[in-house]
Amino acid sequence: MSVKYEGIIPPIVTPFTASGEIDEEKIRREMEICLDAGADGISVGGSTGEGPTLRDEELTQLIKIAREYVKEGSDKTVVCGIMRTCTRDAVRAGKTAKEAGADAIMVTPTAYNVLVPNAEGMFDFYNAISEEVQLPTIIYNVIPQNTIYPDLFHRLLNETEYIMGIKQSVGGIQALYADLMEIEGKGRVYAATDDMIYSCFDLGAKGAISAILSVFPKESVEMWKCAQTGDHLRGLEIQQSLYKKWQVLGGNQFPIKMKYALKCLGRDCGYCRSPITYLPEEEKKAIRETFTK
């Protein structure tokens, strides 16, 4: 398999202005920080980037900015998140991303409770995206009530042309390992257990598309290199140094917590899009005290 789609692919936050427009200056700076740290690509429009709030034309805007830094034909990768509630809209957004220049799309299962299909419905969803968009596609396994289990992932790898991997965000490191054991080397499993990223690499993940990469890109790149060279002790040392920092960011309202943490590190990433507009002072204090130690 090509290494193009592997390694450290930070999901970039989407900075917004006070009026809710994309702040291009700030997002360019974040892309530069991650790529200068040695990242193997960048991802836009994911959960970290508030993807469900982004219109198709805004995905185009973000991809075109990313292409200023990751040129066509590069070994680095531009991944675009697709978060839509039906097959039609996911296909349309995927085609938009392809036309804008994305190398791959990362597609979330449908999320609205009473519209969650069974496994056969989800096979049809991803199969239709594969057939109609025709771009390398990563399953973003992040919806607890619509989990893509290892057997369905394996079937999609075998029976579709463009499904090529899964980002495992449901079930932690155990779920990642279950995927790895099921597919036995076919396809790619990406880590997203932020506080155990090195351990995921050590188990065999082909890389990560995970929020911690965007906050700590240099450390994440070093952990990936440790996994490739077998420097287990150093990889664990970095993971452990970041563990407590990550614990204060979990739960609801993740994007606003992450942007506040980045601000504590001297990186102003603007506003979140409404309705994620308020972070209580006690949560700010916990983040501030942890990130400024």
Tell me whether residue 108 is annotated as binding. no
Integer Cα distance of 146 and 127 in angstroms: 16
**C-alpha distances in Å from residue 6, one per residue of 43, 79, 139:** 12, 11, 15
Q: Is 167 a catalytic residue?
A: yes
Q: Is 76 a catalytic residue?
A: no
Contact 187, 164 (CB under 8 A): yes
State CA 38 to chain mean position distance.
17
Contact 46, 69 (CB under 8 A): no
Phi, psi for residue 275 in degrees, rounded to 5 = -100, 15
Which one is catalytic: 26, 167, 206, 245? Answer: 167
Phi, psi for residue 46 in degrees, rounded to 5 = -90, -165
Tell me whether residue 105 is annotated as binding. no
Question: Residues with Cβ < 8 Å from 256, sequence gap 6 or more?
Answer: 272, 276, 277, 278, 279
Contact 107, 140 (CB under 8 A): yes
Which one is catalytic: 5, 140, 162, 198? Answer: 140
Binding residues: 48, 209
Q: Which residues are catalytic?
A: 140, 167
Binding residues for pyruvate: 48, 209
